[in-house]
Structure 1
Amino acid sequence: MKRTTIRARLTLVYGGLFLLAGMVLLAVTYVLVEQRMPEPLGVALTKPVSEIPRTGLGPQNAEALRIFVRELQEDVKQNALDSLLTQGGIALAVVSAAAIAFGWLIAGRALQPLHQITGTARRIAGANTAGRGLHERIALRGPQDEVRELADTFDLMLERLDRSFDGQRRFVANASHELRTPLALNRALVELAVTRPGASADVRQLGESLLAVNERHERLIEGLLTLADSESELTDRTSIDLAEVAAHVLNQHSAEGSEPDPTRALAREAVRDLAPAPTSGDAVLLERLTSNLVENALRHNVPAGGWVSVRTGLVDGRATLVVSNTGPVVPGYEIETIFQPFRRLRGERLGGGRGFGLGLSIVRAVARAHGGSVDARPREGGGLVVSVTLPSP
């Protein structure tokens, strides 16, 4: 059912009240005119027939003349009243139509500030990232009335929210930067102690454990920094092909390392369907987006017989990156959970080597910062299909 706008309701109320007032005025005028014209012709035939001057008319003819004149008077009076109703009704209809049109224009003019407020709120709500667009203000001009007070209150709320989001982003970035220095110092000291001549096997084993914990914390800090950067405005954009980025990331994950890693073999055997997918944005952030998706598909896989598929291309004129994999069964109601920071699937919360739950949240933040979107759906039999859509340059 189509809703009725406030403008239409105000116009109907204004037009209805005007029409009602006009009908009442017409009715009152009709009654007053009827009372004020008892003898429309200005002649009163109230004398008896015997007193009518003898002009050759007989008594019966004089009475007939009197009745005829009376009927003529009544007809003239009724015609005058009918003409008043007809002409007044037509005039009322024309004036009411003009009043409704005028009311439509006045209502639109009066509601224009509300349209301005709605437009600003819609642009802020349509921002790709939380907190994006809060720098906008309505800055309504005009008399200091209720609508102006509403707009000023809305601007004050936006200013406070903007400061809050900016403060949160600055806190995350500053805290992450401050934490990187002691972590780097700890890593250097542990490496020095482990590589020192004469270090015992227990010291080396303890040092390796400490290095693993330190590396995990460094990855957490790096993830927080990337998340904070991806939620900021993009200032520099360059032309990038997602196919080249995906190929580079797959080559990095499949490169031979010093220690055996089953994910490298899975990355080397990954299905690659890398059609050109041009877009524009920050190369570092888009590489991190792709790396997180590929790493997520490699980590969360079955122990044996698994596969990973990476596809790029253009769909409806937009660059797309689709990463699919085998893996554990993911319930549909858990899909939104894995995109939230520090949230993981229920079965992975007990393990300590599965990451921090920042990978896919960084993917979503980077995609939104580039004006794109991320969609994930469970694969039948286990695993995920994650699709990233970005605008073409």
Structure 2
Amino acid sequence: MPREPGPSVRLRLTLSYAGFLLVTGVGLIAVVWFFLLRYVPERAVVLPGDVDGDPTRPGGPGVFIPGRADLWEAFAPKATLMLGLLLVVGLVGGWLLAGRVLAPLDRIAEATRTAGSGALSHRIRLPGRNDEFRELADAFDGMLARLEAHVAEQQRFAANASHELRTPLAITQTLLDVASRDRDRDTDALLRRLRLVNSRAIELTEALLLLSRADQRPAPDELVDLSLAAEEAAETLLPLAEARGVLLETSGDPAPTTGSAALLLQLTTNLVHNAIVHNVGAGGVVRVTTTASAGNAELTVENTGPVLGPEHVATFTEPFQRGSARVRSDHAGVGLGLAIVERITSAHGGTLDLAPRPAGGLRVTVRLPAPAPAAAPARS
């Protein structure tokens, strides 16, 4: 918002330093003057002197005791001069001290302007011991690091999403071009192919929308039992598991947590769907278990499958990444399943752990914060 120009912080600090020093000087002089007045007569007094300290022999030089008016004439100019000196010292010293104290703010402001121009890789890296300015600089550096990582992730995601969306659109355009040149082409086959490609585009678009919503912290929080979500997901995907010859098992204890029931059900469904699709096929097994311990609600989904390397598993949460032997099929998905799971887990304050099974396949564990014991939801 537009603001009227005002004095700089350095100038205000300088005037504050100088004013404080001046007030202190005035107070000190006032105290000295007050105590002097207690021992100074109203008018000047001349006391006769004696000779060699003998009061019986008057005639010495005598003693002059100035009055208050005489004392003021002698004291006021010097006090005024001292106050002027204090004011000059306060202004000069305050200006230098304020500049030294505010120097870190100049570096922070420069880093802010640099970041505002798009150079997010710049860091302040303020040296010295820890204090308020260094805490501010470190917090700003941390914010820049997170912002840089987020922007880079969004750029990669946008490039991948554009590439993935371009594929079904290009296929549709090719089919339409071929159909326009070949009037005798089977219309029903063309429509079936177009419907399949269009369904994939819709599926991808819905997944992208869900991924964007998954970053938002759900509010208000609902009480959700992960064991119920696992049972519902398993019941929904049981026909797919049977069609592929995969044994789907669910077990475990109640695992209450808080968050969005819809998003947590989507998280569970994505994990079970991935475990079914990316399996060995007939004879494969998917096990879904839930536990509650140490203030956490845990959901574990493990499946049989090909042997995976740790470096390969580490890429599974990247958007549009598919694991070994994850070829496209009628249920292969769009490569956003685990990316959505990771975003939903993060939005709920949880952690996601992916580990390859020694015998082949993948084990995925989601840990979410458990609610207070009195808030546990009732099982139906």
Q: TM-score, normalised by structure 1?
A: 0.49
Task: Name the counterpart of 1:298.
Answer: 276
Q: How many angstroms does 1:201 deviate by?
A: 11
- Give matches, 1:7-22, under 5 Å: none
Q: 1:267 to 1:238 in 2, by over 3 A?
A: farther
Q: 1:210 to 1:148 in 2, by over 3 A?
A: closer
Q: How many angstroms does 1:274 deviate by?
A: 3.1
Partners of 2:146 and 2:358 in 1: CA distance: 42
Task: Name the counterpart of 1:365.
Answer: 343
Query: Do 1:266 and 1:307's aligned partners in 2 also have CA atoms closer than 8 Å?
Result: no
| Unmatched 5+ stretches in structure 2 | 1-100, 121-144, 173-183, 372-380
More deviation in 270-279 or 317-326? Answer: 270-279
Q: 1:215 to 1:322 in 2, by over 3 A?
A: same
Q: 1:355 to 1:146 in 2, by over 3 A?
A: closer
Partners of 2:323 and 2:210 in 1: CA distance: 22
CA-to-partner distance for each residue in 1:307-338, whole Å, 9 max, x for gaps?
Answer: 11000111322000000111111112101111
Q: Which of residues 215, 228, 232 is equivalent to 2:212?
A: 228
Partners of 1:329 and 1:364 in 2: CA distance: 22
1:389 and 2:367 matched: yes
- Give matches, 1:1-393, under 5 Å: 145-146=106-107, 202-254=186-238, 263-264=241-242, 269-348=247-326, 354-393=332-371
Cα-Cα RMSD = 4.2
Partners of 2:276 and 2:267 in 1: CA distance: 14
Partners of 1:146 and 1:376 in 2: CA distance: 41
Query: Do 2:245 and 2:282's aligned partners in 1 also have CA atoms closer than 8 Å?
Result: no
Q: How many angstroms does 1:111 deviate by?
A: 12
When you count strand as a share of all residues, which structure comes out higher?
Answer: 2
Q: 1:253 to 1:236 in 2, by over 3 A?
A: same
Q: Which residue identity lines up with residue 308 of structure 2 in the other structure?
A: V
Partners of 1:315 and 1:220 in 2: CA distance: 36
Partners of 1:158 and 1:147 in 2: CA distance: 14
Query: Do 1:370 and 1:390's aligned partners in 2 also have CA atoms closer than 8 Å?
Result: yes
Secondary structure of the 2:338 match is helix
Query: Do 1:271 and 1:310's aligned partners in 2 also have CA atoms closer than 8 Å?
Result: yes
Q: Which residue identity lines up with residue 320 of structure 1 in the other structure?
A: E
CA-to-partner distance for each residue in 1:95-116, whole Å, 9 max, x for gaps?
Answer: xxxxxxxxxxxxxx99999xxx
Q: How many angstroms does 1:209 deviate by?
A: 2.1
Q: Which residue identity lines up with residue 196 of structure 2 in the other structure?
A: A
Secondary structure of the 2:316 match is helix
Secondary structure of the 1:314 match is strand
Matched residue count: 226
Partners of 2:243 and 2:269 in 1: CA distance: 16
CA-to-partner distance for each residue in 1:351-392, whole Å, 9 max, x for gaps?
Answer: 786222110011011100100011011112211110000011
Partners of 2:149 and 2:245 in 1: CA distance: 42
Partners of 1:267 and 1:369 in 2: CA distance: 34
| Unmatched 5+ stretches in structure 1 | 1-108, 114-144, 188-199, 255-260
Q: 1:244 to 1:267 in 2, by over 3 A?
A: farther
Q: How many angstroms does 1:227 deviate by?
A: 0.7
Q: How many angstroms does 1:289 deviate by?
A: 0.5
Q: How many angstroms does 1:202 deviate by?
A: 3.5
Query: Do 1:250 and 1:268's aligned partners in 2 also have CA atoms closer than 8 Å?
Result: no
Partners of 1:339 and 1:237 in 2: CA distance: 25
Query: Do 2:298 and 2:365's aligned partners in 1 also have CA atoms closer than 8 Å?
Result: yes
Partners of 1:266 and 1:111 in 2: CA distance: 67
Q: TM-score, normalised by structure 2?
A: 0.50
Q: 1:248 to 1:110 in 2, by over 3 A?
A: same
Query: Do 1:250 and 1:267's aligned partners in 2 also have CA atoms closer than 8 Å?
Result: no
Q: How many angstroms does 1:229 deviate by?
A: 0.5
Q: 1:390 to 1:228 in 2, by over 3 A?
A: same
Partners of 1:364 and 1:158 in 2: CA distance: 28
Query: Do 2:350 and 2:368's aligned partners in 1 also have CA atoms closer than 8 Å?
Result: yes
Partners of 1:229 and 1:240 in 2: CA distance: 19
Task: Name the counterpart of 2:48.
Answer: none
Secondary structure of the 2:301 match is strand
Partners of 2:240 and 2:259 in 1: CA distance: 33
